Amino acid sequence: MRRSGLGGAGAAPQNPRMVAATPEPAFRRDVPHGRVLVFAPHPDDEVVGPGGCLALHARAGDPVRVVVATTGGAGDPDRRFDPSTYAARREAESRAGLRELGVHDAVYWRLPDNQALSESDLELGRQLATAALAEFRPDVVYLPWEREGHPDHHALHEIVVAALARAGCRGEALGYEVWNAMVPDFVVDVTAVAERKRAALRAHESQFAYNDFEHTILGLNAYRSMVHNKGVGYCEGFRRVLLPGAR
């Protein structure tokens, strides 16, 4: 797409009340390297959101640990699967998807999902997340971005941000998109591992009963390639989470 010449010589003065154009996202050809800790609200978000980047980390030999907060037990509203084994099924799908990305270190808190959270529930989450950060000592943290529309996603964002402060983390914290598309601070080219992400998405068979992730998520990743890659390949978008003491 070409930019118009609306601001060129001889153009009328801009309306001072006009909203400024959204800055283009920065472009990264690679991930920031180091120890990587990922927080996912449900079993599948770790693949749907930053799955391509996790494959890049794993391929480079970065230690990667994934923490999945809930069982995802509320993810079968039509009761298409046996409820007595559904949570175990989703965890198994998560492990299988991570293997496709080259990730083998996963922790499952197995908390209930789709719940109205009390202050004591939130505090439990903060304590669990703080302990996870203190144990793993990551250089890079992935978490849901701040405007995720799903209550579980938004709650985990708030929980992890509080835990980052408690743990005194000084690395890079990156918000990923799942439920709501963001205006990213930067995008990462994941074209080289897109097929690994596709295979990881396919591992979540129970969720394909409700949503075609190949169409929706890889479609979003293809769209993210538009600005810098001229629509070729796939990119994942992220927003930076400002850590305490950072500038």
**Average per-residue pLDDT for the chain:** 92
**Containing structural domain, residue 108:** 27-241
pLDDT over 60 (residue 9): no
- Of the candidates 76, 143, 83, the residue with the CA atom closest to the CA atom of residue 114: 76
Q: In the chain, how many domains are there?
A: 1
* Residue 63 located in a structural domain: yes
- In this prediction, residues 125-152 reach a mean pLDDT of 97
* Residue 17 located in a structural domain: no
Interval 170-184: pLDDT, tens: 899 999 999 999 999
CA atoms within 13 A on the CB side of 214: 11
* Residue 147 located in a structural domain: yes
Percent of the chain with pLDDT over 90: 84
* Residue 4 located in a structural domain: no
Percent of the chain with pLDDT over 70: 92
pLDDT at 158: 97
* Residue 202 located in a structural domain: yes
The two counts, helices (H) then strands (E), for the chain are 9, 8
pTM: 0.91
Tokens of 102: 């080259």
User: Between these two residues, 14 and 96, which has the higher pLDDT value?
Assistant: 96
pLDDT over 70 (residue 14): no
Report residue 119 CA to chain centroid gap. Answer: 25
* Residue 195 located in a structural domain: yes
* Residue 144 located in a structural domain: yes
Residues paired with 193 in a beta bridge = none
CATH number at residue 215: 3.40.50.10320
pLDDT at 23: 87
CA–CA separation, 19 vs 112, rounded Å?
42
**Number of residues written out for the chain:** 247
DSSP 241: E
- In this prediction, residues 9-13 reach a mean pLDDT of 47
* Residue 92 located in a structural domain: yes
Interval 62-74: pLDDT, tens: 999 999 999 999 9
pLDDT at 22: 85
